[in-house]
Amino acid sequence: MKKTTKKICNLKAFSLVELLATVVISSMILIAVIGTYIHVQRSSAAITAKFDSAKLPRDILQLITEDLDEIITNTQDVLISFQNKKDQNGYNQAKLEITKFITDKANIQVPFEKIVWQSAYDYDSDSPGLVIYRSRDGLSMEDKLLEQVKQPFERGLFVPVCPAVTLFQVQSGIGTNLADNWNSEALPPNIVVTISFAQPVEVSPNYWEIPETQKTTKTIVIDRTKKIPFVIEHKEYQVDANNDSNNIENTSLSGIENDSSTTQSDFRNIRNQILRTPGVSK
């Protein structure tokens, strides 16, 4: 009988220490991701708590107004830009950036606070529509909208504010002369924000549009120090003394006093009769 021998080769594999290190690193990454998700959900809940209903357009417009009011204290150190576009699903999307700068020791302007409002298509929802997001970044850790201090890793995170939006538009101008994009260093005269939750209707073949009655628009003035010209009309008011029933000396008695044929007793009798008349005071 022949004996067969098997050669056992040294196969390369992970050691126990390597496996433990992999598990520990994976756990740390998973904990960080879960922690970030929890903080985003808390921030979203804090913003949503500001609403009586998350779908009320006027509440969202008020939040945008508050962000502008908090940042625009001096128009010299603020930069505002916005863009609008149509996405592939036919929804109007917009992005509004508000940045406040400060001057450091080297006399260089650095961003102190930056707030971004923008919309994106909601792929996770069963019903088509947009989601409005808000993010805040900067040197200051306090977010006045959330009324709490953010953690360093929460800077710049986009927090969902309101779903089921069908129109989010940011413009600037007066009347029908509205600009859809603004990238200038100069501040726009105002910000016109339009939002709607209504579904578009077909106004013509293959053309859908949201009715104007279903849109909510708010105009936010940027330059608060701009002088508004007022015109004051001056009107002269004249009092006709002859129509004053209480002015005895200027009415009937003046003619009696100038009549030389009237005796003194007649004058006293006529005067007493007038004073006894209702509505005539002494």
107-115 own/partner pairs: CB under 8 Å, 24+ apart: 109/77, 110/139, 111/137, 111/138, 111/139, 112/138, 112/139, 112/140, 113/71, 113/137, 113/138, 113/139, 113/140, 114/138, 115/67, 115/71
CA distance 223 to 21: 58
Q: Using CB atoms within 10 Å of the CB of residue 218, give its burial: 0 to 12 exposed, 13 to 18 middle, 19+ buried.
A: middle
What residues contact 86, with CB distance under 8 A and at least 6 apart?
92, 93
pLDDT, residue 193, reads 94
What tokens does 26 get? 């994976």
Nearest Cα residue to 72 out of 101, 95, 96, 109: 101
Quick check: pTM over 0.75? no
- Contact yes or no for 74/100 (Cβ under 8 A): no
pLDDT, residue 241, reads 52
pLDDT, residue 105, reads 82
Residues of the chain with pLDDT under 70: 1-13, 45-55, 73-76, 140-156, 223-282
